[in-house]
Structure 1
């Protein structure tokens, strides 16, 4: 439900902050005052294409901000969570339109694309009136409304699940068929695996091979380094480390009586002497293991060469060859049963198609029953709304199903004849905006309580009507407001009097600039506004009395 709408430098409005509640909110005003300003603002917040001309003259940008409560908008909350844009139980939409034509959008304070804005707004608000804003003109929305009105959720879920199951089996079959000649592929895989299995590809084996090659390739240098080090570490002359260390300890011992901490130094040097002995022993072992062996080096280089050749062939590093081996072995195992699996898949795909047809038939039967009920109820309502002789039909068209469709085996088209004697035409081709709005109202009332969108906006729904029909339109809007939040722009007092809340749009001029302002009316102000709508500029006592009577009729 829309709770707050802020407008800055939008068209002729410099600043407006509006609060909204449940029920029916009506918006009135003199001709040209900008009654549709709020509808246009919601349209832009719903992702409508921006035009720099909408920015108030002299301003750098227009800014629109709306806040929605999500306690009655589960699909919107689910969308926000899926896109990681959720922020508790409320949602804020913001959009700026620059005078140079640029536009930016935010959802809950985070940058968003216009497409995302439109997707989310589609779960929050539905605007009826102008063709480009009319959600019910889309055949997908018509089908969704019919399913919602009929409570077809479980049946539709079953159709989608069976269609997805068929798709998964079909994709598996395509993947196997796409391999081509299974025998040829198997032979190729076996050859590749034989090459790889001829080498030790485990991570530690590859690491040991590289280390062994480096050791043999540098054997001469290693031997010389070890011999020199051993000579220093074992030497008995003054250049030997053991002798040097012993001399150092002796010199320090002579002065230890004068500085007790030299004893700690001596203990450390004693430990160092032990470590030196162990290091000498290990270095000797290393030296003993070293040998210049050209044949062994050649063998290692041949093994490395094979690894690098295989790595280039498979476009990986030598360390990644083990992963290639595992993948090829898995594919070979799969191919070993491919022929049998293909035979099984043919049967499973046929069975899955049968399950989908059964589910689709159940859904189709439910849709046909709901279509008949919705057609009759909506036709009766459009008669009440001043289109006597008009007909509304929900036409269900079968779809040739070569493969399971998640939406079922039929499509829906809302057909309308606004006048007696005229053949029904698709709702999306109805020319009159006023008729379109009233038909939309009739559909929504007929499907009352089943539309998932919590906020509905009707722009000039009362265009071209008056008298008793206007009163009926107002009552239908108020009835719709019992289960949904409804905003209605109107010029008829009979409709305006039915609102739970009433806003008035009026123009004012200051310093040569015209500005539209929006005011929330109290009871006395509502009486004056209804009287103006009834009697024109000069409000008479009779007009005020009639206005009070209209309001009293809704108490």
Structure 2
């Protein structure tokens, strides 16, 4: 509900602080008094398009502030939370328009973009009139209004969850498919590479061992000759051992007589005999094992060269080849195993889509039922509004299964035909200004308390009608005001008489100087003042007793 509207320096309004009540509020006054300025100011506060021409002459800036009770609108609360705007029972929308064209927007004194202000404002206020009609004219809103009318919001939320699950399954399947396709291109290479490496069967440290063996075998002939010469030296003339043993025997024979002076020499020779024997045996053993084998050399070189070639191919060291083998084998296993995973994800995506479609089709049936009920409800409202020849129809187009969205498969559009036999078409294309506002009134009465903005404004919805039709317009506005707050700009006494609140708009000049500018004033009317205004609306410039009596009759009929 709109609880207050504060205006500073907007067109003819110098300063205005207006408190508003629930129910139906009528705004009346002479043409040109400034009724439209109030609507322009409210539009400015709620994000409508603005320009420097709105600023009062001589002022640097104009300000419009609208205060709302925060409605229990989930979408609005989510938007406020997403935007980081705190609210405690009320929303204060403020717009500052500078004379130089600049504009600033605030929500609860927090600076926001004009786009966000407009988005919030559209959730709070709908304006319906001959020249400024939106909301119901936007076909994008029709599906939500139909769902609200049919009480289908819970079903839509459930469907939205299923749609999200389906899209998530599709995304996971697409990712996995892309990865599998990339892997398939490498599969043949991996199979060959893994087969080669497993056949080669590299082992850690193998390169150093083979290289050492190869070096040894290539040097075997020269080493063998040197060892033969060394062994001959150790064995010639009875051998080093025999000569050392003979020398040891002579020293031992004189050891006692030498009074200990030969002990060290005897000990050294004794060790020399033993070590000389060991040295000769080692040289002989190495010589025996150092036979040159051309076939073995070829085998060693072939294995070593194969290992090094594999390392170059995989850009690694020979010692890394075992780990490379394991890694490539794992990749190949993933590819082969991924085919099964792909089948699982495909089945999951199909299942998620089928679950979504089943719920979406059920929702489509429920919408078709709600559409028939809405068409009947609107049809009942048209004849009293002098639209008895008009027809209203809720058109539902069902899109292809693959094109379903979070709200379902349906595209909903409200259409009318204003003359018998004429085809149905969108509201904005075939209805005149007065007809359009009355169509909107019929719709809003039918949709009352079933969704939409909590504040509705009808600008001269009674234009071009009078008598019984104007009476019917007033009755339906009053009926609508039982569910939402309604403000109506009207020249019809029948409509004004049905209002719960009556605001008179008039233009006054403070002083008598030619330079004094006129200003718009708003006066809440009660009792006699209200009767006098309705009588003026009935009689014109001269209010007669008969007009007052007629005003009393209208007010009494609306009570």
How high is the TM-score relative to the length of structure 2?
Answer: 0.71
User: Residues 86-125 of structure 1: matches in 2 within 5 Å?
Assistant: 86-125=86-125
**Contact conserved, 1:23 with 1:485, CA < 8 A, in 2?**
yes
Q: Select between 510-519 and 491-500 the one with higher mean Cα deviation.
A: 510-519
> In structure 1, what is the Cα distance between the partners aligned to 2:42 and 2:336?
61
**Contact conserved, 2:94 with 2:106, CA < 8 A, in 1?**
yes
Task: Give the structure 2 partner of residue 27 of structure 1.
Answer: 27
For residues 414-434 of structure 1, the C-alpha deviation after alignment (integer angstroms, 9 at most, x for no partner) is: 111233343222113234222
Out of 503, 514, 526, the position equivalent to 2:530 is 526
> In structure 1, what is the Cα distance between the partners aligned to 2:149 and 2:331?
49
Q: Select between 479-488 and 505-514 the one with higher mean Cα deviation.
A: 505-514
Shift of 1:67: 0.6
Task: Give the structure 2 partner of residue 181 of structure 1.
Answer: 182
Shift of 1:334: 7.6
Shift of 1:184: 5.6
> In structure 2, what is the Cα distance between the partners aligned to 1:388 and 1:96?
45
> In structure 2, what is the Cα distance between the partners aligned to 1:71 and 1:397?
32
> In structure 2, what is the Cα distance between the partners aligned to 1:334 and 1:438?
67
> In structure 1, what is the Cα distance between the partners aligned to 2:459 and 2:73?
22
Task: Give the structure 2 partner of residue 81 of structure 1.
Answer: 81
**Contact conserved, 2:403 with 2:409, CA < 8 A, in 1?**
no
Task: Give the structure 1 partner of residue 374 of structure 2.
Answer: 374
> In structure 2, what is the Cα distance between the partners aligned to 1:336 and 1:517?
82
User: Residues 5-84 of structure 1: matches in 2 within 5 Å?
Assistant: 5-84=5-84
Task: Give the structure 2 partner of residue 317 of structure 1.
Answer: none
Task: Give the structure 2 partner of residue 554 of structure 1.
Answer: 558
Task: Give the structure 1 partner of residue 495 of structure 2.
Answer: 495
Task: Give the structure 2 partner of residue 136 of structure 1.
Answer: 136
> In structure 2, what is the Cα distance between the partners aligned to 1:392 and 1:65?
37
Task: Give the structure 1 partner of residue 423 of structure 2.
Answer: 423
For residues 256-284 of structure 1, the C-alpha deviation after alignment (integer angstroms, 9 at most, x for no partner) is: xxxxxxxxxxxxxxxxxxxxxxxxxxxxx
Task: Give the structure 2 partner of residue 485 of structure 1.
Answer: 485
Shift of 1:366: 0.7
Shift of 1:159: 1.8
**Contact conserved, 1:138 with 1:428, CA < 8 A, in 2?**
no
Quick one: structure 1 residues 49 and 529, their matched pair in 2 at CA, closer, same or farther if it must change by over 3 Å? same
Query: Greater CA radius of gyration, 1 or 2?
Result: 2
> In structure 1, what is the Cα distance between the partners aligned to 2:467 and 2:353?
56
Quick one: structure 1 residues 37 and 543, their matched pair in 2 at CA, closer, same or farther if it must change by over 3 Å? same
Quick one: structure 1 residues 132 and 465, their matched pair in 2 at CA, closer, same or farther if it must change by over 3 Å? closer
Task: Give the structure 1 partner of residue 401 of structure 2.
Answer: 401
Q: Select between 429-438 and 526-535 the one with higher mean Cα deviation.
A: 429-438
For residues 462-499 of structure 1, the C-alpha deviation after alignment (integer angstroms, 9 at most, x for no partner) is: 11110011011101101111111111111100000101
Task: Give the structure 2 partner of residue 227 of structure 1.
Answer: none
Shift of 1:154: 2.0
Quick one: structure 1 residues 533 and 382, their matched pair in 2 at CA, closer, same or farther if it must change by over 3 Å? same
For residues 291-330 of structure 1, the C-alpha deviation after alignment (integer angstroms, 9 at most, x for no partner) is: xxxxxxxxxxxxxxxxxxxxxxxxxxxxxxxxxxxxxxx9
> In structure 2, what is the Cα distance between the partners aligned to 1:107 and 1:408?
33
> In structure 1, what is the Cα distance between the partners aligned to 2:334 and 2:533?
78
Alignment of 1:165 with 2:165, yes or no, is yes
State the SS of the aligned residue for 1:553: helix
Out of 546, 550, 555, the position equivalent to 1:542 is 546
When the two chains are superposed, the root-mean-square deviation of aligned CA atoms in Å is 2.5
> In structure 2, what is the Cα distance between the partners aligned to 1:413 and 1:167?
26
> In structure 1, what is the Cα distance between the partners aligned to 2:335 and 2:532?
84
Quick one: structure 1 residues 531 and 158, their matched pair in 2 at CA, closer, same or farther if it must change by over 3 Å? same
Quick one: structure 1 residues 63 and 170, their matched pair in 2 at CA, closer, same or farther if it must change by over 3 Å? same
**Contact conserved, 1:182 with 1:338, CA < 8 A, in 2?**
no
**Contact conserved, 1:3 with 1:21, CA < 8 A, in 2?**
yes
For residues 506-555 of structure 1, the C-alpha deviation after alignment (integer angstroms, 9 at most, x for no partner) is: 11124431221111111111011101100001111111111111112223
For residues 176-215 of structure 1, the C-alpha deviation after alignment (integer angstroms, 9 at most, x for no partner) is: 23334225679999x9xxxxxxxxxxxxxxxxxxxxxxxx
> In structure 2, what is the Cα distance between the partners aligned to 1:77 and 1:481?
24
State the SS of the aligned residue for 1:476: helix
Task: Give the structure 1 partner of residue 412 of structure 2.
Answer: 412
Quick one: structure 1 residues 468 and 165, their matched pair in 2 at CA, closer, same or farther if it must change by over 3 Å? same
**Contact conserved, 1:73 with 1:454, CA < 8 A, in 2?**
no
User: Residues 286-365 of structure 1: matches in 2 within 5 Å?
Assistant: 337-365=337-365
> In structure 2, what is the Cα distance between the partners aligned to 1:40 and 1:25?
17
**Contact conserved, 2:130 with 2:461, CA < 8 A, in 1?**
no
Task: Give the structure 2 partner of residue 444 of structure 1.
Answer: 444
Task: Give the structure 2 partner of residue 221 of structure 1.
Answer: none
Shift of 1:87: 2.4
**Contact conserved, 2:173 with 2:349, CA < 8 A, in 1?**
no
How high is the TM-score relative to the length of structure 1?
Answer: 0.71
